Amino acid sequence: MTKILVVEDEEAMRMLIKEELEDEGYEVKTVSNGKEAIDFLSSNDVDLITLDIEMPDMNGLEAAGKIREMKKDVKIILLTAYSHYKSDLSSWAADDYVVKSSDLSQLKNAIKKLLEV
Amino acid sequence: MSKEFEKNSREYLAELGDRFIKILSKGTLNGMLSSLTELIKDVSKSEKVSLYVYEKDHAQLRLMSSDTDEKPLKIKLESEKIEEDLKAYLFDGRERAIPLYINENELVGAVFMQGEKPADDFLSRIALILKACLNAETKRAVIYKLSTLERLDSMLNSMPMDFDTLYQKVLDFVVKILNAEKGTIWLMGEDEFVLSYVNGISEGEILRRRVKDDHGVIGWIVKHLSPFLSTSSKDDPRVANDVFNFKIKSTIAVPLKQNGKLIGVMILFNRRNTDFYRPYRHFDEFDLSILAGVANRIMLSRSRIELYLKLKRENETLKRLQEQSKEYIIHQQEQVRLLNALQKIMKAMKSSQDIKNVYKIMLIGLTSGMGFGFNRALFLEKDEENKILQAKEWLGPSSAEEVSKDWEAAKKRESMYADFSQYLREEALIVQDDGKLTRFAKGKNFSYTGDYIFDRVVNRGKVVHVTKILARERGREFMDLLNFLQVDEFVCVPLIGRREVYGVVILDNKYNSKPITDDMIEMLKIFSESVGLTVESIKSYNELKEKTANLEKQKMVIEYFKDFAQNVLENLDVAIVVVNRENKILEWNKKSEDLFKFSKDRVVNSTVNILGPEFFDIFNVAEKVYTVKETITLSEYNLKLRDKEMFLNIKFSPLFEKETNVIMGYIAMFDDVTKEHMMEEELRTQERLAVLGEMSARVAHEIRNPLSAIGGFAQRAIRIAQQEKMKKYLDIILSETKRLENLVNQTLEFSRSNLNSNFEERSINDIINEAMQLYLEKAKEKSISIELDFTAKDAKAMVEANHFKEVIMNLIQNAIEAVDEKAGKIRIKTQETDDDIIVEVWNNGLPIPPDKLEKIFQPFYTTKTHGTGLGLPICKKIIEDEHKGKIKANSDESGTTFIVRIPKGLKKVEGG
Which residues on chain B are in Cβ contact (under 8 Å) with A83?
A: 745, 748-749, 752
Residues B664, B580 contacting (CB under 8 angstroms): yes
Q: Any CB–CB contact under 8 A between B734 and chain A?
A: yes
Pairing of strands B836-843, B210-212: unpaired
Q: Any CB–CB contact under 8 A between B888 and chain A?
A: no
ipTM of this complex prediction, to 2 decimal places: 0.81
Q: What is the DSSP string of B721-773?
A: --SHHHHHHHHHHHHHHHHHHHHHHHHHHHH-SS----EEEEEHHHHHHHHHH
- pLDDT at site A17: 93
Q: How far is CA A66 from CA A39, B16, B68, B321, in A?
A: 11, 135, 147, 104
Q: What's the full length of chain A, in residues?
A: 117
Cβ of A81 within 8 Å of Cβ of B704? The answer is yes
High-pLDDT (> 70) share of chain B, %: 89
- How far is Cα B508 from Cα B490, in angstroms, rounded to an integer? 4
Say yes or no to pLDDT of B275 above 80.
no
- How far is Cα B451 from Cα B458, in angstroms, rounded to an integer? 10
- pLDDT at site A57: 57
- How far is Cα B198 from Cα B413, in angstroms, rounded to an integer? 78
Residues B437, B376 contacting (CB under 8 angstroms): yes
Cβ of A10 within 8 Å of Cβ of B709? The answer is yes
B134 contacts: CB under 8 Å, gap ≥ 6: B29, B53, B108, B277, B279
Under an 8 Å CB criterion, which residues of A touch B? 10, 12-13, 15-16, 19-20, 54, 81-84, 86-87, 100-104
- State residue B619 phi and psi, 5-degree precision: -80, -20
- Angle, to 10 degrees, between the axis of helix B120-157 and the axis of helix B163-177? 170
Say yes or no to pLDDT of B543 above 70.
no
SS3 B599: coil
Cβ of B711 within 8 Å of Cβ of A100? The answer is no
Which residues on chain B are in Cβ contact (under 8 Å) with A15?
A: 709
| Range scoring the smallest mean pLDDT among A42-51, B369-378, B747-756, B816-825 | B747-756
> Which of B708, B748, B749 has the CB atom closest to A102's CB atom?
B708
Count chain A–chain B contacts defined by CB atoms under 8 A.
62
Q: Any CB–CB contact under 8 A between B698 and chain A?
A: no
- pLDDT at site B492: 94
B80 contacts: CB under 8 Å, gap ≥ 6: none
Residue A91 pLDDT class (50, 70, 90 cuts): very low
- Residue ranges per domain, chain A? 3-116
Higher pLDDT, B286 or B445: B445
Pairing of strands A48-52, A75-80: parallel
| One-letter amino acid for residue B60 of the chain | Q
Strands (E), chain A: 3-7, 27-31, 48-52, 75-80, 96-99
Q: Render the burial of B627-638: b for 16+ CB within 10 Å, e for the rest.
A: eeeeebebeebe
CA-nearest residue to A85 within chain B is: B756
Straight-line distance from the first to the last Cα atom of chain A, in angstroms, rounded to the nearest whole number: 16
Say yes or no to pLDDT of B680 above 90.
no
CA-nearest residue to A86 within chain B is: B756
Among B444, B494, B442, smallest CA distance to B465 is for B494
Cβ of A13 within 8 Å of Cβ of B705? The answer is yes
Residues B510, B466 contacting (CB under 8 angstroms): no
Say yes or no to pLDDT of A83 above 60.
no
* Digit-coded pLDDT (tens) for A14-44: 999 999 999 999 999 999 888 899 999 999 9
How distant is the Cα of A19 from the closest Cα of chain B, in angstroms?
9
| One-letter amino acid for residue B362 of the chain | M
Cβ of B756 within 8 Å of Cβ of A54? The answer is no
- How far is Cα B422 from Cα A93, in angstroms, rounded to an integer? 115
Query: What domains does chain B contain, in order, with CATH numbers?
Result: 3-142 (3.30.450.40), 159-311 (3.30.450.40), 352-535 (3.30.450.40), 540-567 (no CATH), 572-672 (3.30.450.20), 679-748 (no CATH), 757-903 (3.30.565.10)
Say yes or no to pLDDT of B866 above 60.
no
- How far is Cα B468 from Cα B472, in angstroms, rounded to an integer? 6
Most A CBs within 10 Å: which of B701, B704, B715, B736, as the mutation test of the A interface? B704
Which residues on chain A are in Cβ contact (under 8 Å) with B737?
A: 102
- How far is Cα B326 from Cα B332, in angstroms, rounded to an integer? 9
Most A CBs within 10 Å: which of B705, B750, B802, as the mutation test of the A interface? B705
Q: How far is CA B36 from CA B10, B30, B33, B220, in A?
A: 16, 10, 5, 46
CA-nearest residue to A12 within chain B is: B709
Mean pLDDT of B377-382: 92
- How far is Cα B192 from Cα B190, in angstroms, rounded to an integer? 6
- How far is Cα B583 from Cα B99, in angstroms, rounded to an integer? 125
Which residues on chain A are in Cβ contact (under 8 Å) with B752?
A: 82-84
- State residue B309 phi and psi, 5-degree precision: -65, -40
* Digit-coded pLDDT (tens) for B130-157: 888 888 877 877 787 778 778 888 888 7
Q: Any CB–CB contact under 8 A between B715 and chain A?
A: yes
Provide Rg for chain B, Cα atoms: 66
Residues B297, B173 contacting (CB under 8 angstroms): no
- pLDDT at site B554: 58
Which residues on chain A are in Cβ contact (under 8 Å) with B701?
A: 54, 81-82
Mean pLDDT of B458-469: 90
CA-nearest residue to A103 within chain B is: B712
* Digit-coded pLDDT (tens) for B682-701: 778 777 776 776 677 677 77
SS3 B797: strand
- pLDDT at site B187: 93
Residues B391, B445 contacting (CB under 8 angstroms): yes
Pairing of strands B895-903, B836-843: antiparallel
Classify domain A3-116 by CATH number.
3.40.50.2300
B213 contacts: CB under 8 Å, gap ≥ 6: B188, B191, B192, B193, B219, B222
Cβ of B708 within 8 Å of Cβ of A82? The answer is no
Pairing of strands B192-199, B210-212: antiparallel
CA-nearest residue to B703 within chain A is: A81
